[in-house]
């Protein structure tokens, strides 16, 4: 296995790395941050090949989208910058066939796993709306479909049912309550995907993973400075993105909080988030899209519960986990969040 220093040498970066640190925030890729002798920093990632079987296509999407954003904003740190490998390609393939990429590091930012206050909720909404708006003139059909049917609730329930049937780890007996709650919500959860598939909801370029730690906030102003983790950029409905920002910006506990009593839906955070979002997105939203924003938060929270529970039953093969029941804990917090939304549904 090649060492991080050897991998870094395969990219066109002047100078020498003086430190390399690992970042454990994401559930999917393996991330390192390096600092070079001239003080510049870079992010190096091994792309998860189980999740992303065609890294070359994924990098083509990212290169096209980031160039588009940079051209429109005229600001280098408004989006990720892909640093090419010495070969000229946007990735390097190591001796075991792993794909690596390098981005310049976005400096002067804070990354949150949970929204600390209404100001950051507002900034997140505004940042996601701006991101969608910058890409509203980008032809979504030119993008590769990186993970087909990523937000297809019917497919996600099928995967859950398959995992339950196989029950590879004998865990099914532990999740009766969770499974039955999700099954009761299946039909309602399918509405947004169905609306997208039938064309009732228009296709846009969507990020598909707009959770809060995929947005970096300016240390000085608290504004959203850069939307990162662009692996799942694909055609979709903007409701996939409003949904995931609602899920992660309006929760009072971490995604993997063990005490579900701590997980509540925050109406004040929701209001701040949507204020920010509307400021940058109102001009391109259809009536149908507007009317489903609130529902999108519930739907995306549900799809995460389904996916975490599926991975728990399948034996933790998809998400990175730190302990045995990690995926079950995550599924339970998502269900708790849905229930809290339901209790307050009339208030937001
Ligand atoms: P994953 O797909 O595993 O979630 P991400 O691309 O989201 O990987 O990266 C993981 C974390 O690394 C992010 O949440 C962020 O904190 C940090 N990070 C990634 N890229 C950059 C960057 N270019 N500048 C600053 N921080 C970054
Ligand atoms: C994964 O890569 P990361 O940690 O930002 C996942 C998302 C989930 C999220 C849940 C490609 O996102 O779909 O919403 O975990 N990414 C992929 O925290 O499956
Ligand atoms: Mg991420």
- Residue-wise pLDDT tens digits, 257-280: 999 999 999 999 999 999 999 999
- Residue-wise pLDDT tens digits, 3-59: 899 999 999 999 999 999 999 989 999 999 999 999 999 999 999 999 999 999 999
Nearest to 61 by CA among 47, 75, 74: 47
223 CB-contact burial (10 Å; exposed 0-12 / middle 13-18 / buried 19+): middle
From the CB of residue 141, how many other CB atoms can be counted at a distance below 10 Å?
A: 7
How many angstroms separate the Cα of 261 from the Cα of each of 116, 257, 265, 335, 336?
A: 18, 9, 11, 11, 8
Residue 280 CA to ligand 2 center (angstroms) comes to 24
Instruction: Please report, rounded to a whole number, the percentage of residues in the chain having pLDDT higher than 70.
Output: 100
Residue 241 CA to ligand 3 center (angstroms) comes to 14
What atom in ligand 2 is closest to the CA of residue 300?
14
Is the C-beta atom of 26 inside 6 A of ligand 1? yes
What is the per-residue pLDDT for 330? 98
Query: Three-class SS of residue 92?
Result: strand
Residue 16 CA to ligand 1 center (angstroms) comes to 22
Q: How far apart are CA 92 and CA 88, in angstroms?
A: 9
Contact 112, 212 (CB under 8 A): yes
Instruction: Please report, rounded to a whole number, the percentage of residues in the chain having pLDDT higher than 90.
Output: 99
The number of the ligand nearest the C-alpha atom of 208 reads 2
Query: Three-class SS of residue 95?
Result: coil
Is the C-beta atom of 52 inside 6 A of ligand 1? no
Residue with tokens 């890294």: 55
Q: How far is CA 74 from the centre of its chain?
A: 25
Is the C-beta atom of 22 inside 6 A of ligand 1? no
In this prediction, residue 2 has a pLDDT band, given cuts at 50, 70 and 90, of: confident
Candidates 26, 30, 43, 209: which one to mutate for ligand 2, based on the most atoms within 8 Å of Cβ? 209
What is the per-residue pLDDT for 174? 98
Q: How far is CA 121 from the centre of its chain?
A: 16
Is the C-beta atom of 27 inside 6 A of ligand 2? yes
Helix (H) or strand (E) holding 236: strand 234-236
């Amino acid at each position: 296995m090649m060492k991080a220093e050897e991998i870094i040498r395969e990219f066109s970066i002047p100078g020498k790395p003086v430190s390399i640190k690992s970042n454990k925030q994401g559930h999917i890729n393996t991330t390192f941050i390096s600092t070079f002798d001239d003080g510049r920093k870079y992010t190096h990632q091994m792309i998860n090949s189980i999740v992303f079987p065609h890294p070359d296509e994924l990098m083509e999407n990212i290169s096209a989208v980031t160039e588009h954003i940079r051209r429109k904003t005229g600001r280098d740190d408004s989006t990720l910058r892909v640093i090419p490998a010495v070969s000229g390609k946007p990735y390097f393939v190591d001796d075991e066939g792993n794909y690596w990429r390098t981005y310049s590091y976005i400096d002067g930012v804070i990354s949150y796993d949970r929204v600390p206050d209404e100001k950051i909720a507002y900034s997140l909404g505004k940042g996601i709306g701006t991101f969608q708006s910058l890409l509203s003139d980008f032809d979504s059909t030119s993008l590769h479909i990186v993970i087909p049917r990523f937000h297809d609730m019917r497919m996600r329930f099928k995967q859950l049912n398959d995992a339950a049937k196989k029950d590879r780890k004998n865990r099914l007996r532990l999740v009766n309550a969770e499974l039955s709650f999700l099954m009761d919500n299946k039909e309602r959860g399918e509405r947004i995907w169905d609306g997208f598939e039938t064309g009732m909801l228009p296709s846009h370029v969507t990020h598909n993973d707009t959770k809060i730690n995929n947005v970096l906030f300016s240390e000085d102003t608290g504004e959203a400075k850069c939307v990162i983790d662009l692996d799942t950029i694909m055609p979709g409905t903007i409701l996939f993105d409003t949904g995931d920002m609602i899920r992660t910006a309006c929760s009072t506990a971490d995604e993997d909080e063990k005490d579900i009593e701590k997980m509540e839906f925050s109406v004040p955070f929701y209001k701040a988030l949507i204020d920010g979002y509307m400021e940058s997105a109102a001009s391109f939203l259809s009536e149908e899209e507007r009317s489903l924003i609130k529902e999108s938060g519930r739907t995306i929270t549900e799809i995460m519960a389904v996916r975490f529970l599926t991975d728990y039953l399948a034996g933790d093969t998809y998400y990175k986990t730190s302990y045995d029941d990690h995926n079950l804990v995550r599924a339970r917090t998502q269900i708790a969040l849905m229930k809290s939304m339901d209790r307050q549904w009339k208030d937001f």
